[in-house]
Structure 1
Amino acid sequence: MPDQTSEPTTPQLYLQRDQPDGVPPLALTGERTLPDVPEENYWYQRHLIVYEWIRERVGGLKVIDMACGEGYGSSVLAGQAAEVVGVDANPAAHEHARLRYSSPTVRFARDLVETFAEPADAVVFLQTIEHVQNPDEILERFKALTADSGAPAVYVSTPNVLTLAPEGAEKSGNPWHVKEYRPEEFHALCAAHFSSVEVYGLFHARKLAVHEFAIKKLRWDDVHKGLRLTKPFYNWFTPAISVADFTLTADRPLERALDFVAVCRP
């Protein structure tokens, strides 16, 4: 996606700020989003709203947060879920999550998405299916993990290649992504494994919607560069973004969505 919220940066220069005592900060590499990095706040809030939306749908359930990364999402889900297990194979991310977020209802397992075997009522797999070589195998595994639940659900999100990549390109420049999906491709992938698939789109709202309009219609990028305001503007604007600046809905064209969120049931 063209950078709409900050100047281009080199992610590895940034470390999480203000971590609790004894919790090692993680470095921003572009592989996963992180809280507590002001320059990353747009992407963090863009992911956080989806975790919060799912949280309201998993009350009283056991949830597996696959590829949980830093762990913040597992902690969010635990606000309503009976039990959350955050699964990630990266040793640094696992150790950080274990130290920062473990609680009576949250624990973390260092394991691969392909091999973690605990059954659950719901599986959450956000912004990761575009990273994998074997999406069909993984979705079948998630279906099997939730097979014994009375109300199984698998939540999967991914960016929209139509708004992430340059126009006409098959993929963005993100080196961690294997395959980026169009709306019909993503729906077909999920529908090949689940009989019920609802796909929602994530869009800009409030000040991000105004900012998007200014870029597209008023050439704001050229204006702030010409006035030499780019750095001061984004130093203020990016940290000020919140979940309220996004909306998740099924009532707008998916071709224009930033991300897709699928709710999959057998």
Structure 2
Amino acid sequence: MVGEIRHPDSERRATSGKRYFQRNQPPGVPPLELTGERTLPDVPEENYWFRRHLVVYEWVAERCGGLDVVDMACGEGYGCEVLARRAATVVGVDANPEAYEHARLKYTRPGVRFVRELVERYAEPCDAIVFLQTIEHVPDPEAVLRHFRSLLRPGGAVYVSTPNVLTLAPPGAERSDNPFHLREYRPDEFEALCRTVFDHVELYGVFHARKLRLHELALRLGWDALHPRLGLTDAFYRRFVPAISARDFRIARAPLVEALDLLAVLR
């Protein structure tokens, strides 16, 4: 269904009872279960959300060449692997024991290491901090941003992303039904939070591109009403969702009210 793309996977599982695990992991690496708290690679049903996160990691990696980078709340660890393609060193920080162990065993590129710790307590200085799709989970986001600022070397930057509640929540709702989110942000609210701590704030948005943009246009023309009548729903989305790539998203400055996710560069 269209919900296979639009809505958080935790909502689908809550109604279907189906469980999803990573496929085809390297020998000795335990697969993680998709819980809705974090996205994962190697789960075909999750591919839309994984690629939506991945495009931001790739964008940030291009700005971290030769730097010492910390990926806070790194989860499964795939982002550290992406950042390490350009960075001098990458430290992935996560407090979850299963995610930490999985990441430590799976991503062994030289210059990458993982630390099991709360992001509020990790204290090694660095040139850049990456904190993607997590600030909506923390009870005191301003304190977290102040902590990150204290870790930056001169000239460093913090990259923070979060869902845009204007496009994540159902029309007319104040927030989505994701049970893991403590606070969801409009663009102006997110910018105001960042400016309480950082003097320089650049705000970008993540948008659909290529085939996802065509899918958006098809929805406006009535695709949601057509595919169930033709009996195409399952067959179409079983092929469409796994075929989505990071190139089916783009990062741009405006219009932020229409962005899927918001991305701040803080200095």
TM-score by length of 2: 0.95
**Matching of residue 248 in structure 1 with residue 254 in structure 2:** no
**Structure 2 unaligned residues grouped into runs of 5+:** none
Q: Secondary structure at the match of 1:19?
A: coil
Alignment partners' CA distance in 2, 1:40 and 1:85: 25
* Range moving further from structure 2, 96-105 or 83-92: 96-105
Q: Secondary structure at the match of 2:155?
A: coil
Residue equivalent to 1:63 = 69
Instruction: Indicate the RMSD between aligned Cα atoms, in angstroms.
Output: 1.4
The offset of 1:221, in angstroms, is: 1.2
Do the aligned residues in 2 keep the contact of 1:203 with 1:258 (CA within 8 Å)? yes
Task: Give deviations 1:21-45, integer Å, cap 9, x for gaps.
Answer: 0000000000000000000000000
Alignment partners' CA distance in 2, 1:151 and 1:53: 19
**Structure 1 unaligned residues grouped into runs of 5+:** none
1:1-266 correspondence runs (5 A): 3=3, 5=5, 9-10=12-13, 13-146=19-152, 149-215=153-219, 217-250=220-253, 252-265=254-267
Q: Secondary structure at the match of 1:40?
A: helix
* Range moving further from structure 2, 132-141 or 224-233: 224-233
Alignment partners' CA distance in 1, 2:134 and 2:218: 31
Do the aligned residues in 2 keep the contact of 1:33 with 1:43 (CA within 8 Å)? yes
Alignment partners' CA distance in 1, 2:124 and 2:217: 46
The offset of 1:4, in angstroms, is: 5.5
The offset of 1:10, in angstroms, is: 1.5
* Range moving further from structure 2, 221-230 or 68-77: 221-230
Alignment partners' CA distance in 2, 1:113 and 1:127: 14
Task: Give deviations 1:208-247, integer Å, cap 9, x for gaps.
Answer: 00101111x2121111111111111000000000011000
TM-score by length of 1: 0.95
The offset of 1:157, in angstroms, is: 0.1
Alignment partners' CA distance in 1, 2:167 and 2:183: 14
Alignment partners' CA distance in 2, 1:142 and 1:223: 49
Alignment partners' CA distance in 2, 1:132 and 1:6: 23
Task: Give deviations 1:73-117, integer Å, cap 9, x for gaps.
Answer: 011000000000000000000000000002221000000011111
Q: Secondary structure at the match of 1:9?
A: helix
Alignment partners' CA distance in 2, 1:211 and 1:167: 19
Cα distance, 1:129–1:150 mapped onto 2, change above 3 Å: same
What is the one-letter code of the residue matched to 1:27? E
Alignment partners' CA distance in 2, 1:4 and 1:185: 28
Alignment partners' CA distance in 2, 1:88 and 1:140: 18
Q: Which runs of 4+ in 1 moved over 2 A?
A: 2-9
* Range moving further from structure 2, 253-262 or 10-19: 10-19
Alignment partners' CA distance in 2, 1:20 and 1:6: 30
Do the aligned residues in 1 keep the contact of 2:4 with 2:45 (CA within 8 Å)? no
Cα distance, 1:4–1:28 mapped onto 2, change above 3 Å: closer
What is the one-letter code of the residue matched to 2:5? T
Q: Secondary structure at the match of 1:45?
A: helix
Alignment partners' CA distance in 2, 1:178 and 1:226: 38
Alignment partners' CA distance in 2, 1:233 and 1:139: 42
What is the one-letter code of the residue matched to 2:252? T
Alignment partners' CA distance in 1, 2:166 and 2:141: 20
